[in-house]
Structure 1
C-alpha cells in the first residue's frame, strides 16, 4: 500500500530540527531525507525567492510525494528533487553548480512508510519477500545476504549492526537452514531465529536483526559517513548541520564528525592542545522529542537531534 504524503511519514522533531538550521530566507539548503516531504515543506516555507532547497531520496515511492510540497509557485521554483542516495551529495551539488550551502538536515533511519508497507520486507509484522532495499532499482536484497554470505560475514553483521551477543549461533543456524531451502521471506527468517530469543525480548531482538540486515543491504553506515564528510566541505562558515538519529551506530558517527571532523572520532590538537574540528555545537545536549510527540508518534521515541555550526575560523 502506497501512502499519501500526509501519512507516508510523520516528521520527527519538525520545529526543533528546522529551527536549528537558523534559516536565511535567501540561503541554499539541503534535506537529504525527503520522505513524505514534511521537513522540506517547513524549510521551503521559510525561504524567499532568492533561496533554494535541494531534497534527496533514493526511493521512488518518496518521489510521489513531491506534489505534496504545493504552496505558491515560487516555492516550486525554489525546489529541486534529487532521486539519489545522499552519499552522492557532493557530486549532485557540483552538477547543479552549488559550491556552498547554508544548512543541511538529515532525518536518518527508516520512514514510517517502509515499516508499514507490507511488500517491502522491512518489518517482521508482515510475511513478505526479504527485500529491504531503499532503492528498489538496484543492489542486493536481504534474501541475497542471508543466502549468499559466508557464516563469519553474517555473524559479524549481526554483531556489529544488530549488537547481538549470540550473533555466531544465529549465523550458524542461518547456514544450516539455507542448506535445506532458501530463506526468501520474513516468515522464513523468523522461523530460523526465533529459538534464540526469550519470549519477553523476542520483538526487541528481532528488530535488531532486521535492522542489521537493512543496514547491510543499503550500506547505510558508509553512505552516512560519505554524506557527512561532503556536508562538512560544502557548508559555508556559519552554516548549520541538523541531524536526527535513531540508534547508537549512526549517532556515534554524527557525534564523531561534529567533535573531531571525521567519522572515526580521531581527535587532532593544535600547538596549544585545542581540539581541531570544523564545527561548534549549537546544542550542548541532544534534543529529544517531548512526551506528547513520543505518544503521538512512537517512531520518535529513540530520536536524538544534534545541531552544529561550521566554524568561521576553521583551521586547515
Structure 2
C-alpha cells in the first residue's frame, strides 16, 4: 500500500526508520496491533519501512464483541500490507488489578507468538509521560521514573518521541477508522484519570509542554541510570565471593552505586518485586550494622521465605523456613 506523504505519516515513518536502523537493521518485525490509532499508525509506518511485517492481535476477551474487534484489526493489517495477521485469544487471570493482569497476559502471548523477531509497540510520548507520573507516585527512586525504553528486547517503541495526536492524524490521513477501547475512558483505571484529568490540569497550570518535559526527564534518567548500572556491575563482581557480598568493600561505594549493586545481587539470587524500603533496610546491614536481623524479600516459596542476613562480614541470601517465623 502506497502511503500518502502527509506530515503525520512522514514523522511516524521516520521514527520507525530510525528505530529499525539502530536496533533491527534489515530484519523483519512484528507489530502488536490492538486496532487503536497508535498501533494502526505504527502498522502502516512499519509496512512502509520494513520489508516484512507480521501483525499480532491480542484478544483479551474482556468485552462483548472483542473477537470482532480483533478480526477487524487483522483485516486492517492485511489491507495495509502485513505479511500475516494473527489473532491471539488470551485468558486474563481474575483478582487484583485488571490492568496488570491484562498486561501480563498480553505480553506473554506476544512473546510466545513472535518467534525470533522483535515486537513493535505503539506507545507514544503521551504514554511515556503517564508512565513517568505513575512511577513518581510510587516513590521508588530514579529507576521508577525512567519510563519505557525505546528498545527493551524483544520490545521496540519507535513512537516515544511522537504525540498521540500524530497517530490519530495519520489514521485520518489513511482513511482508517481506529477502534476506541471503552477501557481508555473508564475512570476506574488510574492511567485513564492521569490522561484525562491530571495531565490536562498540569498543562493548564504550567503553561503547556508538560508531557514533553516528563519524557525528557525520563530519557535523561535512563541515560544516567545506564552509566550507574554499568559501574555497579563492575562493583558487584569485585565485592562478591561465592555468592556472598563483602560488606566492608561495598560500604566504601557511594549510596547510588551501593544500592544498585544490592539490587543486582538480589535479582541474581532470585529476589522479586524489590521495594525501595527493602533496599534501604538491606543497605543498613552494610552501613549501619547494629546486630539487626535479616530482611525478607519477595521470591521465596510457600514453605520458605527468601531472607538477606549479615554473617561474618558478608551479606548472605538464603531461604528460611516460614514455620520458624
Same fold (TM over 0.5): no
More RCO (CA 8 Å, sep 6+):
1
Structure number with higher helix proportion: 2
**TM-score, normalized by length of structure 2?**
0.32
**TM-score, normalized by length of structure 1?**
0.33
* Greater C-alpha radius of gyration: 2
